[in-house]
Homo-oligomer: A and B are copies of this chain.
Amino acid sequence: MAYRVIGADVERWDAVAKVKGKADYTADIPVKNLLCGRIVRATIAHGFVREIDFSEALKVPGVLKVLTPDNVPDVKYATAGHPYALNPKSRDIEDRNILTRKVRQYGDDVAAIIAENPLAAEEAAEKIRIVYDELPFYLTAQESTAEGAVLVHEVERNTFASTVAKEGDVATGFEESDIIIEDEFNTQVVQHCHIENQVAVAYQDADSRWVCITSTQIPHICRRIVAQALDIPWGQVRIIKPFIGGGFGNKQDVTIEPLTVAMSMAVGGRPVKIQLSREESMACTRTRHAHNYKMKLGLSKDGTIRSLQSACLSDSGAYASHGHAVAAKGSAFLYAMYKLPHFEFAARTAYSNRTCAGAMRGYGIPQVIFAVESLMDHAARKLGMDPIEFRLKNMAPDGVLNPIYNTYIYTNKLAEVLTIGRDAFRWEEKKKAAREHNAVSRLKRGVGVAAFSYSTGVYPKSLEIAGCRLVLNQDGSIKLMTGAAEIGQGSDTVLQQMVAETVGVPYDMVYRDSNTDTDIDPFDTGAYASRQTYVTGLAVRRAAEELRGKILDANKKFNDIDARMCDIVDGVIVHKHDGSAIETLGELAMKTYYDIEDGECLTVDISNNCHFNSFSTGATFAEVEVDTATGKAEVLSVMNVHDSGVILNPLLASGQVDGGIMMGQGYAFLEELKFDPRTGAPVNNNLLDYKFPTSMDIGDMQCEFVEYSDPAGPYGNKSLGEPPTCSPAPAFRNAILDAIDVEINDLPLSPQNIFMACRRAGLV
């Protein structure tokens, strides 16, 4: 199908405003009589608050109130930005209070100060004296789940979930195998490092309800969780999301909002702002789960996979947050990539005393893909096969039911991804050049590949629902309202393209708002699971089709030409047979507004329940150069190839891929949030000590798209938001392996870790 606006490189609607500084982020919005909220954080990693003495804090001029757990509702709630489940068994674990008497991580929220200004709040915070009863703390899930470990929460062995997904019987599979490979992999804790830290302003509105302006990915879910935490009817809460400086999943958790509203309640509804520092955001919000994988692979001599067994131990840190979903999610995705006659995927998720882990771009898949794609290279090497050939041999077909996810996979173009990417990346040429280079140089080069698959949205595991409202203006322009959360990813722009495409108007005649507002914008669960262009897109397409129908009906009413004979092209109603103009959409719209007898403004307001899922796939091709003497690995070139269906906006899509590759590069080489083993305190929760890649670290970076229209996606599209960050780390790891013949199974591939691996391998 030929599209006019879909597939075009239109500029994001907010680009100019953002460049000019005209786009208001939460902290930019002026608020009268604004008070400053500050969280008083635990200075131990595990224990109980025995006593809080805030008498001196209250004496600080400008301090209005100090809140302790006694001053907030005694309600346990869950913070994960998941759709609410009617079935109580499917709900997230309610293990958190707004302020806590039991400290479970260093920096836990134990009290809060409301002051006239930040300085008074800071001074007061220093004057609060807290006496703790300390407990032993655990900085890994291995420790916290050990026999006899003290309980972080009241669950046995600190393990709050364990599951096993299986197809066939792995034992039989291993019996049938000629070659068995076993490996163990560890991934580290990293943090999202979105540019804009968490910030929220809460106040009581003129109608006595509670408003929270907040930097969230999930306005409608945030509304629910704030209400749950404060034990008030959900309709009493209004969430407004302004422009956002990134989230990457961290703002798919409700962190500071309930406390911000509780603070406003404590001062009679006056506005209160909580703005986290970088240190707080990194140490006290959410992280990517550290996973340990034990994997076992059985192969035939010819390189056919017979059996794959995986056991994961996931460290959720101090609270459950997104819970076990992150660890369990990988099973279906591996099964979607490879033909696995016998497959078993076991996962356990446990509490520890590290910073609570939550959602982060990729949602567990970067971890499991690191493990399995390292394992695949191990297998290929053992078989003496090219890694791409090995993968192609074992590729899952498309057009099959995925029994683990219980969803039909209409398109899976991973084979094309690998073959097209091999050519585009010049795999063979680079591989050969590396060999020649390594023969004469101290610096060793290698190439690596890693593949992945990724779902789109959360159906059928959870609810997928989205709404869209469209209003036809007098001039033929269209106001688009959705509850989708533009968080910098460009969802607004793409949804505008969809309206323009389907109604038949130019892109710049579709307007989106700066804010997403739960009182006004249709219900949509928000920005996560790479769902907005798919789930919200389905709603937008349906709404746009409905509006188009209403427009053509109005054309029949006012111009007496049947809908089947008309089309709307570039904002003009035309005769379908020859394209000649009947009148502009604006001219027709004027009649819908102002005809005394028959005028009726055209709007559409729908809610759409999505009953599909589609799996994207892709791969990273990487070329690195390793200095074994220093352990430093440099990226020479990297390419992501994506099978994400129809690419709605190549400009935005390639931006997503570029960002995802860089996030994967940071995950691979640089990033790790570390904790002091003596205190449990985070030690590098700032952007000086926590390293992530900058523009100086970019190698030759490219992306390619393998475009097959997916039948389920609203415009043939599938997920693309998270996929780019799934496969870079193992591709880099495999390239290092190719360069120096050393298997490194723990992330990050930092100079120190590479150097130590080289030393163990006897290279230095």
Contacts and interface: CB of A to CB of B under 8 A. Distances in A.
B601 A17 contact: no
Contacts of A205: 17, 514
A84 B31 CA distance: 37
A234 B475 contact: yes
A488 to B, nearest CB: 14
A473 B237 CA distance: 10
Nearest to A595: B86
A16 B204 CA distance: 12
Interface in A504-560: 509, 511-514, 519-520, 522-523
A147 interface: no
Contact of A465 (B14, B459, B601): B601
Contacts of A522: 471, 601, 603
B514 A17 contact: no
Contact of A479 (B234, B463, B519): B519
Contact of A463 (B462, B477, B594): B594
B17 A207 contact: yes
B473 A234 contact: yes
A245 to B, nearest CB: 14
A278 interface: no
A605 B603 CA distance: 7
A586 B207 CA distance: 20
A269 interface: yes
- Count this chain's copies in the assembly: 2
B86 A590 contact: yes
Contacts of A590: 84, 86
A417 B467 CA distance: 51
A17 B208 CA distance: 8
Contacts of A131: none
A736 interface: no
A593 B460 contact: no
A473 B604 CA distance: 19
A594 B467 contact: no
Q: Which of A83, A206, A467 has its CB near the most chain B CB atoms (within 10 A)?
A: A206
Interface string A570-611: 000000000000000010001101111111111111011101
Interface stretch (A22-30, A59-67, A390-398, A432-440): A22-30
A249 to B, nearest CB: 22
A460 B596 contact: yes
Contacts of A677: none
A602 B605 CA distance: 10
A596 B462 contact: yes
Contacts of A243: 206
Interface string A1-28: 0000000000001101110001110001
A465 B598 CA distance: 10
Given A83-B594, A594-B84, A207 B473 contact: no
Q: Which of A28, A467, A601, A605 has its CB near the most chain B CB atoms (within 10 A)?
A: A601
Nearest to A22: B206
A605 B604 contact: yes
Interface string A237-273: 0000001000000000000000000000000010000
A586 B227 CA distance: 14
Nearest to A466: B601
A28 B30 CA distance: 12
A514 B206 contact: yes
A209 interface: yes
Contacts of A224: 474
Contact of A597 (B481, B601, B611): B611
A678 interface: no
A157 interface: no
Contacts of A595: 86, 463
Contacts of A603: 467, 469, 522, 605, 607
B86 A594 contact: yes
B593 A85 contact: no
A233 interface: yes
A32 interface: yes
Given A28-B32, A86-B590, A601 B514 contact: no
Contacts of A30: 30-32
A83 B475 CA distance: 16
A73 interface: no
Given A17-B206, A599-B609, 20 more contacts: A16-B208, A18-B206, A22-B206, A24-B206, A86-B591, A206-B243, A207-B511, A233-B475, A236-B475, A236-B477, A462-B596, A463-B595, A463-B599, A469-B605, A513-B519, A513-B520, A522-B601, A600-B608, A603-B605, A605-B605
30 contacts: A14-B207, A16-B208, A17-B207, A22-B269, A24-B206, A28-B32, A84-B594, A234-B475, A235-B473, A235-B476, A235-B477, A462-B596, A463-B596, A463-B599, A465-B600, A469-B605, A471-B519, A479-B520, A481-B520, A513-B520, A520-B520, A596-B609, A597-B609, A597-B611, A598-B609, A600-B607, A600-B608, A600-B609, A601-B607, A605-B605
